Amino acid sequence: MSRELQVAQAARLRREEQRWLVQSADRLREAVSATRARRETTQESAR
């Protein structure tokens, strides 16, 4: 495999990894805020 091809492939992999990390972080944030919202409504009804 040529050096240029290796570099291009590595760059693409890094971009895909970055996108995956961003998506994972977004999903985590959504899950956390959903859990928080659920917990708050549960506490409200317990009062």
pLDDT at 22 over 90: yes
Distance between CA atoms of residues 7 and 23, nearest Å:
24
Distance between CA atoms of residues 42 and 38, nearest Å:
6
Indicate the pTM of the whole model: 0.64
pLDDT at 13 over 80: yes
pLDDT digits (tens, 9 = 90+) for 24-44: 999 999 999 999 999 888 887
Distance of CA 31 to the CA centre of its chain: 11
Running DSSP on this structure, what letter comes out for residue 43?
Answer: H
Domain ranges of the chain: 22-47
